[in-house]
Structure 1
Amino acid sequence: MAFLEVDHVSKYFPSPSGIGQVCIFKDVTIRVEKGEFVTVIGHSGCGKSTLLNIIAGLEPMTEGGVILNGKEISGPGLDRMVVFQSFALMPWMTVFDNIALAVRSAYPEWDRGRVAAHVRKYVALVGLTGAENKKPAALSGGMKQRVGLARAFSIEPKVLLLDEPFAQIDALTRGVIQEELIQMWNATRNTVFMVTHDVDEAILLSDRIMLMTNGPASRIAEIVDVTIPRPRARSTIIEHPHYYKIRNHIIHFLVRHAARGPDGREEGSLDRAAGAEPLVVNFEKDSLVLR
């Protein structure tokens, strides 16, 4: 069994007309190994964030189950930590206190000195030493998201869930924080499940990229292995011969699935049966194989 397993999960919402239900995604199965960094990409409305919220225990699933480290998830827990697009900081608390609040919740038996040392460690990891006593109103967007990342990493969760964490940050700052996220992940090797629209970001950060079709009844259609060795950096990753192969494949997938035929199906798709295992794309083996 994988460390994190999403097992044939489906999600339905009531239809706008009030009659029947709308299937957001159907029969999604994902297996993530411990320490793996997995990203999901798909068009808006395919259910990426809903799937992440189900793993977090914030949203009930209609069918299926989620198993983490051999135990089924039944609600929120400190073994899963979410970093949202909106920075979600306590505005009346300082940087230090926002992080310490999470640390004290995760480790109630720790004394004040141990909590403080642990918080300072993660403040330093995100480059905010010297800003510990500032409140969110005095921070830039990039600094706020650094606090969110430090808070999430500080409790050392079994799974870190990132819901488009850099969407509200300008491109230059985003690149800097992506590099910092890589450094933090290298230091901790947390299992990470991330949702993003940014193809380049996914290639830089991920071990595998899962591609979702459009809704309704979206599914994981392909899994792309990122066959670019670590450590990676934004300045050098584009030089690897697989970079543009991976990037072009993902973009072609998104463009193809953005075009829908009159029956609602994606034009040019492989027309595989619903519930079929996703295709695995691996450019190191120069192949497209069934998992």
Structure 2
Amino acid sequence: MFKRTQEFGKQPTEVRETGHYQHEYVHDFVERWDDLIDWDGRAASEGSFFIDVLRNYGCKSVIDAATGTGFHSVQLLKAGFEVASVDGSPQMLAKAFDNARDRGMILSTVHSDWRWMSRDVVGRYDAIICLGNSFTHIFNEHDRRRTLAEFYSMLKHDGILILDQRNYDALLEGKSKPGHKYYYCGEGVSAAPEHIDEGLARFRYEFSDDGSTYHLNMFPLRRAYVQDLMHQVGFQSVSTYGDFQSSYREEDPDFFIHVAEKAYRPQDGNEGEDTPEPQ
């Protein structure tokens, strides 16, 4: 039976474990997640960015590694992609399946831990997307490397990984306004950092209609660290966008989106020069 309440113990800011997200995405929080995401609002904010990137690279098959309640899996299916919908939370996958079915689609869902995803997902894919700030649920350095290595191994020789993260650099350096609303939030929902240090970003999610409050504990990944880690695992080129734009001031974006290429592409000293741009 799905749990209905979160469990962080007596010292919530000391909970810094990769697997703890299983206790954070409880039934009641998952049921409210689409109020937070606001599918229509998110679709308007993102536009066709991810679809354009995937098409520009000639991708046809995609692993949605952080399916959540199914938003991106549904968008990709509607756009004609072959999609494997993966998540480590059974509560999220169940909600995603229902959301897709309500829209006349059937998801191919896989419950899997990223660190051993090749054990659960068969084949090689043109692309893997890991969105919704999900990669920051990993607190352990070894687990991050292991996860990226799994992603790398499951891509075809010319595949790409699209991974996003909050702009934790701005939060850690005090350049983000307290209570700032992130681009995917629905009406009547706030998402703001309650505590942040170099090893933990604890976010508080409040729903005004019933006063319910939930938390997520995440690791505040710095942009340059993620880029470097991708290179170390084997990705040849990493291009980073700020809120879907290729040009930005470091402190401005809410989110960074990294597009990492597995294939080697000769370049004249300018990394990202040959990267296809979304339309």
TM over 0.5: no
Say which one has the larger Rg.
1
- Structure with bigger RCO (C-alpha 8 Å, 6+ apart): 1
